[in-house]
Amino acid sequence: MKLLVVVFALIAACNTAPFDSIPGDNSHYVEGESRFIWIPDGNGVPQLVDLEEPVDEDVLYGRNGANNQYWLFTRRNPNNHQILVNGNANSVTNSNYNRNLPLKVIVHGWNSNGNSDINPIITSAFLAVQDCNVIVVDWRDLANRNYITAANGVPGVGQFLGNFLIWLINTAGGNWNNVHLVGFSLGAHVVGNAGRTAGGRPRRVTGLDPAGPTWGGNSNALNANAGGYVECIHTDGGLLGIFDPIGHTDFYPNGGRNAQPGCWVSTCSHSRAYDLYASTVRTNHLVGRRCNNLNEARNVQCAGATLNMGNGILSKSGSGLYGLQTGDRWPY
């Protein structure tokens, strides 16, 4: 039944689309010019987005970052989250939060929630290799509105997250050198704002194919000021993701663009970023070669020094552009 609903939804979207397009196929899209684009929801299903749709001001200011939920997972509760409430010390004291362990924070993208694919995939990867606190940020109240409204709400969501982390560490303990923020698509810009709100104190910030539409040249986008070491993994650059380097280190697997191996449409290439990242957390086997310029990265012609892509190692550092090739299926 669920499959039929998805199929009918895609057929309906095709019938109402202002152009002939296969759901998820963004070959028509020209950055800064096109009005419509396919963006995947939290389950990877393409949704047609109108980039000129007006911002819903009532939603934007009624469902801002104050509505964030913070779901804690640890090795003591790997599958059932505990909710931490900003300003409520008892919610932390009565949880499995351990101030002596590293803190990983995961933020989903548009039209998603705390249960969307990215969260269990990366949460389970972190807990498989390291005893740590994992906080999944659920910002569905705003993320599940139209794309333009959600994108405009990103700075507020990130600022509330940053202030929550400051409160958490000041109240329950912790070490900023043990903090690692990970965000996908719009979530990458959320963690950028969170890191800057916290004064750039998070040790690591990872952007997984940071959202592209409306974010080129946007001062609220993820940048190197968000943390001690900011790394981006680009998989659908120029379409659903930003292609230009924006971190200390930027990785371009398979050219950093659509189509990623095993993908036929842009929405698959966009989502591939978090699958690749989860695999590197578990195995740390994907190795990039340094590129002299962006053109080398685009054409997978990089032959410089090596640096492992992704992983969850807090002491990791580096700079520059890196290219690599991956396989078409797990573990890539």
> Which residues are known to be catalytic?
185, 209, 285
**Orientation angle between helical segments 186-197 and 147-172, nearest 10 degrees:** 40
> For 318, left (φ over 0), alpha (ψ -120 to 50), or beta?
left
| CA separation, residue 22 to residues 13, 146, 265, 282, 288 (Å) | 10, 21, 9, 34, 33
Give the Cβ contact number of residue 219 at 10 Å.
6
DSSP letter at 41 equals -
The answer to whether the CB of 277 falls within 8 A of the CB of 206 is yes
List the structure tokens of 119. 């969260």
Distance CA 166, CA 172 (A): 10
Q: Tell me which amino acid residue 320 is.
A: G
- Outline where the chain has alpha helix (H): 2-16, 57-62, 89-93, 118-129, 140-143, 147-172, 186-197, 266-283, 294-298
Whose tokens are 């190197």? That residue is: 224
The answer to whether the CB of 59 falls within 8 A of the CB of 146 is no
Q: Tell me which amino acid residue 90 is.
A: N
Whose tokens are 């002491």? That residue is: 315
Distance CA 248, CA 233 (A): 11
Whose tokens are 């685009």? That residue is: 298
List 288's β-bridge partners, or say none: 307
CA 82 and chain centroid, separation: 22
